[in-house]
Amino acid sequence: MCLICLCLPRLASCSLSAPSKTQYPIYMEEEQAVAKLPLIEAECSARLRISNIDYDQENGGVGSLNSAGASAPVETRSTPVLFICTFAAACAAFTGGCLASYTSPAESGIIADLGLTVTEYSVFGSIMTAGAMIGAIISGRMTDFIGRRRTLLVLDIFYIVGWLAIIFAEGAWLLDLGRLSLGIGFGLTCYVGPVYLAEIIPKDVRGLLMSISQSMTGYGASLTFVIGSFVTWRSLAIIGCIPSLLLLLALFFIPESPRWLDYIETKHLQQDSDANVLNLFRRKYLHIVIVGVGLMVVQASGGLYGFMFYMSEIFDSAGISSTLGFILVAVLQIPLIVLSATLIDKFGRRTLLMASATGQCLGCFLTGLSYFLQELDWWKEASPILALIGVLVYMGSYASGMGGIPWIVVSEEHFSYMRAYVVLGLFSSQN
């Protein structure tokens, strides 16, 4: 998580200005226009250090209104606040990566210590998906009802309870309960983390900070694979709980989303109570839904799970130990994620997504070609190395774009309450 420090020079020029005795306009989504309505008094948002906020549709983010009502970049002086907000979201995402890959290195130890059958362990591994579906279902309404910051607290409680249940488990039922709790927390994380950052980070560094935060899921998964090769499954669960405790500490220092406060002040929550899933098929939302679900389908069906499930076998076929292979993947991801976070605001989301997808195609081709050559007994000595190169190319390309940018794109769209329904579809399509 120390990678967040790399963004500090870019944050020096943007922050959240000091409060003033003005009232705040808000982007009115239904009218698709900027309506200058009196909303929150200065004292209501003083602790947020936000002044004259304009949610600009064209630029997809925060801007400030001058006297003529034109949008201009926000000047900020609260770099530590932005850092802590990003750190909190990164902790939640990192924990999600840890729990997603936990079952692979912990399998042999749990089965040996607790005497679980293969069926019981399969339930333990898969029940996280059921919990994540529950978290995805309740995430939208929960964040609208209690706010983004409190939702982060709720998901952190699910994380901590889940890890503690696994740490002290002496049978299958407590393991399953802990895994289910972790899944609920992960389902909430997939929604509230990107949305919170999109609403609170100025647009000129939003891509940088959100890409760093979202990449923590990949880091969590990679480090869990590596560390799990050297420690017991209970120790691995204790390590997985550490980011949750750091998130709990960070929650004492981060503000609530100003957009949510405006949302409550204007009673949009009451107006949106009539929303239903059929509204997703209205013309104004349909394009967003198609793009969002399409990105998630490409993200999940592009070969990721095949590489993750059979990565050990690929490394073994190349004559490399699984531990060394996982370390190579983790080391490769670090510079690529940093590079992606640096370039995302300069070249845009679409460019990095296309580059990432191209790299994934190349990685799949190289891996498939390797097994094809092995099947025909051609190029016997070099074909396993070709598979290793394919894995590294694929995982590096995925981490640099397709892993986190789809969530950033979805969270930046302006469709308010519709996210509650869209996120369920996105998570369902991903699994």
List pLDDT tens digits, range 144-184. Answer: 888 889 999 999 999 999 999 999 999 899 999 999 999 99
- Indicate whether 217 and 102 sit together in one domain: yes
* Same domain for 397 and 362: yes
Quote the pLDDT of residue 353: 87
User: Which residue would you say has higher pLDDT here, 30 or 217?
Assistant: 217
**Would 342 be classed as within a structural domain?**
yes
Q: Is the pLDDT of residue 36 over 70?
A: no
Q: Are residues 214 and 109 in the same domain?
A: yes
Our separate counts of H helices and E strands in the chain read: 18, 5
Same domain, 170 and 301: no
What pLDDT score does 285 carry?
Answer: 65
Which amino acid would we find at residue 301?
S
> Is residue 416 domain-resident?
no
Give the C-alpha separation, 89 to 407, whole Å: 13
The residue out of 56, 72, 88 marking a domain boundary is: 72
Higher per-residue confidence, 58 vs 86: 86
Q: Is residue 140 part of a domain?
A: yes
Report the 10 Å Cβ neighbour count for 323: 16
Domain-located, residue 23: yes
Share of the chain above pLDDT 90, in %: 17
Average pLDDT, the chain: 73
Q: How far apart are CA 102 and CA 226, in angstroms?
A: 11
24 against 156, higher pLDDT: 156
| Least-confidence region, from 193-207, 220-234, 244-258 | 193-207
Q: What is the pLDDT of residue 265?
A: 60
pLDDT band at 242 (very low <50, low <70, confident <90, very high): very high
Helix/strand/coil (H/E/C) assignment for every residue in the chain? CHHHHHHHHHHCCCCCCCCCCCCCCEEECCCCEEECCCCCCHHHCHHHCCCCEEEECCCCEEEEECCCCCEECCCCCCHHHHHHHHHHHHHHHHHHHHHHHCHHHHHHHHHHHHCCCHHHHHHHHHHHHHHHHHHHHHHHHHHHHHCHHHHHHHHHHHHHHHHHHHHCCCCHHHHHHHHHHHHHHHHHHHHHHHHHHHHHCCHHHHHHHHHHHHHHHHHHHHHHHHHCCCCCHHHHHHHHHHHHHHHHHHCCCCCCCHHHHHHHHCCHHHHHHHCCHHHHHCHHHHHHHHHHHHHHHHHHHCCHHHHHHCHHHHHHHCCCCHHHHHHHHHHHHHHHHHHHHHHHHHHCHHHHHHHHHHHHHHHHHHHHHHHHHHHCCCCCCCHHHHHHHHHHHHHHHHHHHHCCHHHHHHHHCCCHHHHHHHHHHHHHHHC
* Kind plus residue range of the DSSP H or E element containing 64: strand 61-65
More confident residue, 403 or 95: 95
Judge if 256 and 374 occupy the same domain: no
Last residue of some domain: 274, 308, 342?
Answer: 274
Q: Which residues contact 366 (CB under 8 A, 6 or more apart)?
A: 386, 387, 389, 390, 393
- Side-chain-side CA neighbours of 289 within 13 Å: the count stands at 18
What gap in Å lies between CA 296 and CA 93, rounded to an integer?
17
User: Do 125 and 26 lie in a common domain?
Assistant: no
Q: Which pLDDT score, from 0 to 100, does residue 290 have?
A: 76
Does pLDDT of 233 surpass 90? Answer: yes
Specify the range with the lowest mean pLDDT, choosing from 55-59, 337-341, 378-382: 55-59
For the whole model, what pTM was predicted?
Answer: 0.66
Mean pLDDT of all residues in 74-93: 77
**Residue 282 domain-assigned?**
no
Of residues 48 and 184, more confidently modeled = 184
Average pLDDT estimate for 113-139: 86
CATH number at residue 252: 1.20.1250.20
Could you give the strand order of the β-sheet that contains 61-65, starting from the edge strand earlier in sequence?
53-56, 61-65, 71-72
Tell me: do 6 and 123 sit in the same domain: no
Q: Tens digits of per-residue pLDDT, 329-355?
A: 878 877 887 787 778 777 878 888 888
pLDDT at position 270: 53
Residue 174 lies in a domain: yes
Range of lowest pLDDT (291-295, 390-394, 400-404): 291-295
Looking at 208, 241, 274, which one is the last position of a domain?
274
What would the mean pLDDT of 223-245 be, rounded to a whole number? 90
Higher pLDDT, 363 or 7: 363
Residues 203 and 154 in one domain: yes
Residue 428 covered by a domain: no
Residues 316 and 246 in one domain: no
DSSP 379: S
In terms of residue numbers, what domain contains 30? 2-72
Residues with Cβ within 8 Å of residue 245, at least 6 apart in sequence: 160
- 103 and 251 fall within a common domain: yes
C-beta atoms surrounding 109 within 10 Å = 16
Q: How confident is the model over 288-324, as pLDDT tens digits?
A: 777 777 777 777 777 776 777 667 777 777 777 777 8
Say yes or no: 215 and 347 in one domain: no
pLDDT at position 3 over 50? no
Kindly state whether residue 283 falls inside one of the protein's structural domains: no
Has residue 379 got a pLDDT over 60?
A: yes
Please tell me the total count of domains within the chain.
3
The whole-number average pLDDT for the span 386-412 is 81
Within this chain, do residues 60 and 167 fall inside the same structural domain, yes or no?
no
**pLDDT for residue 279:** 60
